[in-house]
């Protein structure tokens, strides 16, 4: 702040008796932050800078009013508080999920390297993984009148299960859902929308196989980045190789789904 603390009487001084001890100044500033929040707010908006005593002391920044806190966060990150998410460099999905959230207007921030004052204000913000799960992934709500599985759906799901497990080398479960997206991946479970006709009318068609490849790729990459597109491409090549090595099994799948000599 553009003020000089100059208290010369009845205060602890250093041996040179010409300055206040830093601890005393820090204590005095901490007591003044709250009642001077409006002044700090105006200063930050006018100067477009955040005073050092707010940047370097978490206790000071958290003593600001809500409005001054928002101004400080905006000046230091370039984003509103509700648009900030915490990055986790130890999460392998963080780069892709961060990139997808950025496209949605969010600001991923690694608070480990942030100044203490900003870090204190952002500790309770959601992580990249939490926000990505909330806004980028599909969450289906079961319907009370959800129809029972049909024989056609059972046969299609059995075929999709063979394909998915061959691609991923693990057990994959399938759920039927209604409304929202065509399909979704979640912890080894692929949910398929019963109202998307091509999934059930043409299960080995380009759109249906593309859907299965898309969801299987989410096992390796959470978001929809370039890395995700590359993962889809690799799985497509793997599927082509599997079909080439198992022609009779592919023929059996085709006959079961379309009838002998069809599809």
Considering Cα of 134, then 135, then 138, then 140, what sign does the dihedral take? positive
Task: Give 72's contacts (C-beta < 8 A, 6+ positions apart).
Answer: 40, 44, 50, 54, 61, 64, 117, 118, 121
Domain 151-258 is of which CATH architecture?
2-Layer Sandwich (3.30)
Would residue 179 be called left, alpha or beta, if left means φ above 0 and alpha means ψ between -120 and 50 degrees? left
pLDDT, tens only, 14-40: 566 556 677 888 888 899 999 999 999
pLDDT, tens only, 108-163: 999 999 999 999 999 999 999 888 878 776 666 666 788 999 999 999 999 999 99
Q: Please tell me the pTM assigned to this model.
A: 0.61
Higher pLDDT, 13 or 73: 73
Which two three-digit tokens encode residue 192? 């398929």
- The domain segmentation of the chain, as residue ranges, is 22-126, 151-258
What residues pair up with 127 in beta bridges, in sequence order? Answer: 86
């Amino acid at each position: 702040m553009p003020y000089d603390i100059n208290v010369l009487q009845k205060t602890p001084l250093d041996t040179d008796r010409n300055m206040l001890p830093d601890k005393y100044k820090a204590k005095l500033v901490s007591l003044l932050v709250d009642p001077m929040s409006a002044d700090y707010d105006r200063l930050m908006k006018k100067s477009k800078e955040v005073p050092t005593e707010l940047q370097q002391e978490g206790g000071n920044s958290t003593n600001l009013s809500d409005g001054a806190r928002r101004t400080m966060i905006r000046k230091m990150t370039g984003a509103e508080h509700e648009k900030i998410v915490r990055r986790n460099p130890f999460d392998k999905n963080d780069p892709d999920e961060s990139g997808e959230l950025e496209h949605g207007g969010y600001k991923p921030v690694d608070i480990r390297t942030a100044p203490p004052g900003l870090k204190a204000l952002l500790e309770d913000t959601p992580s990249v993984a939490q926000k990505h799960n909330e806004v980028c992934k599909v969450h289906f709500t079961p319907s009370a009148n959800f129809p029972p599985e049909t024989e056609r759906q059972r046969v299609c799901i059995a075929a999709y299960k063979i394909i998915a497990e061959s691609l991923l080398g693990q057990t994959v479960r399938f759920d039927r859902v209604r409304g929202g997206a065509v399909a979704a991946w979640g912890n080894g479970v692929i949910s398929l929308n019963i109202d998307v006709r091509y999934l059930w009318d043409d299960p080995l068609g380009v759109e249906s196989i593309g859907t299965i490849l898309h969801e299987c790729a989410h096992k390796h990459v959470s978001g929809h980045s370039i890395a995700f597109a590359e993962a889809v491409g690799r799985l497509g090549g793997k599927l082509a190789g599997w079909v080439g090595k198992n022609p009779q099994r592919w023929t059996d799948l085709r006959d079961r789904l379309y009838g002998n000599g069809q599809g």
